[in-house]
Structures are given as C-alpha cells and as structure tokens.
Amino acid sequence: MIFIETPPDTSGYMIAGYAIAFGVMLIYVLSLIIRYRNLNRDLSMLEEIDKG
C-alpha cells in the first residue's frame, strides 16, 4: 500500500494571520498620521492665539 502524503490545507489560517498583521500595522501607521495632523492643527491655532 502506498501513502502519498500531502500537506494539510491550512491556507485559511495563513490568510487570517497575514490579514491581521497587515491590518494592525496599517491602523498603527494611520494613528500616527492622524495624531500628527491633529497636533499640527493645534500648534498653528495656538501660535495664532499667542501672536494675538
């Protein structure tokens, strides 16, 4: 009797893993961009008040 071993189909887990990894990294980068933008807006507003 010959057994041909094929790897199990675990591609769903792999896709889920990479989707989560990329998702988390994307959310973090977006959070950096948003925080930076908000701080820049605050800074220009405060600078205007300071001048006035």
Partner 1 sequence: MKTKPRTLIALDILALILLGVSSYLALVFAPTEATMGQVQRIFYFHVATAWVGMLGFIAAGISGIIFLVTRNLKWDRVEVASVEISLVFFFITIVLGSIWARPIWNTWWTWDPRLTTATITELIYIAYFMLRQGIEDPDRRARFGAIYTLIGSVSVPITFMSIRLYRTIHPVVIGTQSAEAQGGFNMTSDMRFAFFFALISFTIIFVDLFWNRIRLGALADKVELLKLKVMQ
For binding to partner 1 (CB under 8 A), which residues are involved? 5, 7-11, 13-14, 16-18, 20-21, 24-25, 28-29, 32, 35-36, 39-40, 42-43, 46-47, 49-50
DSSP state for residue 10 in the 8-state scheme = -
> In terms of CB distance, is 3 or 13 closer to partner 1?
13
> Smallest distance, Å, CB 41 to partner 1?
10
> In terms of CB distance, is 3 or 10 closer to partner 1?
10
Which is nearest to 16 in space by CA: 6, 27, 28, 24?
24
- Strand ranges (DSSP E) for 1-52? none
Residue count of the chain: 52
